[in-house]
């Protein structure tokens, strides 16, 4: 049979039980829709073409008189944030926030200086002031040698106070407390046993006395033999300072290095036993047999020649 279908529905598939007229109507509707879609596409393309003029074709600016714009112009809205299109490296951007200011450190308060001791205060090594000077002068007046009165309670003042404490039968700590102050006020001073001229070493009170014409002129703190055993050069001995009357027979004006230790400027009076300077002169017997005095006291003995060769040394 010859195909008598309208060109409008050629290629349009037939539906089951659909009449030719019905199919023709559906085909024409489809064709009309295609034509409308094509017109719209051409219209859109024409608009695009107007936006891109060809060479030699003038471009109209503005709007024709009487023509109303189809829509209001839209201003571009700026984005609140800007996103970089670059690749992310994983390294955080440096902070723009300034670092918090460090708190200003508070100045360390200076300790309140200790007020100088006043009359009647207990004096200890390290104290300074006019009261210390006064005590030093009073000690010197009684014969307790402590060098020059410089207002500083140092080692020499402590040695002199210890000598006063020994003479008064007090505790030997070198601190100028109430009992020692009373002893100084009362003028406590040891007396000579020999009544002559020379050096006396009082082992019981651990004092060295310089005696002139039976009068004690100087009193020094000393430390004699400890009474303990010791071994020297293969022999065991007792650290003792023998009692008796002796004579100074040898003097060494420098550090004398002996088998039992170093002796500062010793003056020997009984074999290897001497009066010599030492860095440590405690308030109790501690030597191997010699009579220790402070190094400055030994320098004073040399400066004043208090123990010349031939001078008498009495130990009791």
Active site residues: 276, 290
State the pairing for strand pair 215-221/261-270. unpaired
Please identify which residue in the block is written with the tokens 């598939």. 13
User: Which positions ≥6 away from 266 have C-beta within 8 Å?
Assistant: 251, 252, 256, 274, 275, 276, 290
Q: Say if residues 162 and 181 touch (Cβ distance below 8 Å).
A: no
DSSP notation for 167-236: HHT---S--B-HHHHHHHHTT-----SS-SSEEEEETTTTEEEEEETTEEEEEEE-B-B---EEEETTEE
Q: Say if residues 255 and 275 touch (Cβ distance below 8 Å).
A: no
């Amino acid at each position: 049979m010859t195909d008598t279908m309208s060109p409008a529905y050629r290629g349009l598939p037939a539906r089951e039980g659909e009449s030719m007229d019905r199919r023709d109507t559906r085909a024409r509707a489809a064709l009309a829709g295609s034509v409308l879609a094509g017109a719209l596409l051409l219209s859109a393309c024409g608009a695009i073409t107007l936006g891109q003029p060809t060479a030699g074709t003038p471009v109209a600016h503005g709007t024709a008189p009487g023509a109303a714009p189809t829509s209001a112009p839209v201003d571009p809205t700026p984005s609140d944030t800007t996103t970089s299109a670059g690749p992310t490296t994983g390294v955080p951007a440096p902070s723009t926030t300034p670092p918090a200011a460090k708190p200003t450190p508070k100045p360390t308060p200076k300790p309140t200086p200790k007020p100088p001791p006043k009359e009647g205060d207990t004096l200890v090594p390290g104290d300074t002031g006019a009261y210390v000077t006064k005590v030093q002068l009073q000690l010197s007046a009684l014969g307790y040698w402590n060098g020059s009165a410089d207002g500083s309670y140092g080692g020499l003042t402590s040695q002199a106070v210890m000598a006063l404490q020994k003479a008064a039968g007090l505790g030997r700590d070198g601190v100028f407390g109430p009992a020692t102050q009373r002893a100084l006020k009362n003028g406590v001073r040891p007396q000579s046993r020999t009544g002559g001229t020379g050096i006396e070493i009082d082992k019981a009170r651990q004092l060295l006395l310089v005696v002139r014409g039976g009068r004690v002129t100087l009193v020094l703190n000393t430390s004699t033999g400890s009474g303990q055993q010791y071994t020297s050069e293969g022999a065991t001995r007792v650290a003792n300072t023998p009692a008796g009357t002796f004579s100074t027979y040898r003097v060494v004006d420098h550090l004398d290095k002996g088998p039992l230790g170093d002796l500062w400027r010793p003056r020997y009076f009984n074999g290897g036993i001497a009066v010599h300077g030492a860095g440590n002169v405690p308030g109790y017997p501690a030597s191997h047999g010699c009579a220790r005095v402070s190094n400055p006291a030994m320098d004073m003995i040399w400066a004043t020649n208090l123990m010349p060769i031939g001078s008498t040394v009495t130990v009791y």
